[in-house]
Amino acid sequence: MILIALGVFFICAVVYAEAAKQGLFAPSNASVFMRENLKKVCATSDPPQWTSKACNLNAIVPEYTKFSPYAYSLDVILPIVSLKQREDWHPIHRPLEMDFAGLSAQLPPYFLRGLVWFESIFAWVWTLSLSALAIGIIKRD
């Protein structure tokens, strides 16, 4: 059961990393968008690349959490613990282009948000099952 959770965590983190490269995550705090100096650097491209190295959000707003795809995935898959990634970053509703083993695909705009929902639901089911197993409600055969 733990290996399945690790697999879900890793696959989601890889997809989140690719999505971040394509600028498909944006800060969820509205005050970030109000800073003029940030708009000049990060919102120059269409769409804005908030997670790119060129934007360097943390240099302009040092108190804001830097996006990390692995920390984001860990934050989603551990429903009781908060790493502030899921709270500070949200997927943007745009198509995701994936390249894997020579195959490329354009995934629909709702895919990334759906993946976050899937990982979140999986996390709760996994956590509750693990808890039930630990206290003896579910017997392992």
Q: Over the stretch 55-68, which tens digit does the pLDDT of each residue have? A: 777 777 778 888 99
- Does 138 have pLDDT greater than 70? no
Nearest to 94 by CA among 118, 110, 75, 116: 110
Q: Where are the domains of the chain?
A: 2-132
For the chain, percent helix, then strand, then coil, each to nearest 5? 50, 10, 35
pLDDT of 117 above 80 = yes
Residue 99 has pLDDT above 90, yes or no: no
Pair of tokens at residue 33: 């968008």
Q: State mean pLDDT over 82-86.
A: 90
Confidence of residue 13 (pLDDT cuts 50, 70, 90): very high
Element (H, E) at 29: none
Residue 119 clears pLDDT 90, i.e. is over it? yes
What stretches of the chain adopt beta strand conformation (E)? 25-27, 89-91, 96-100, 103-107
Question: What's the rounded mean pLDDT across residues 95-117?
Answer: 91
Strand, coil or helix: 117: helix
Question: What average pLDDT does range 31-44 have in this prediction?
Answer: 73
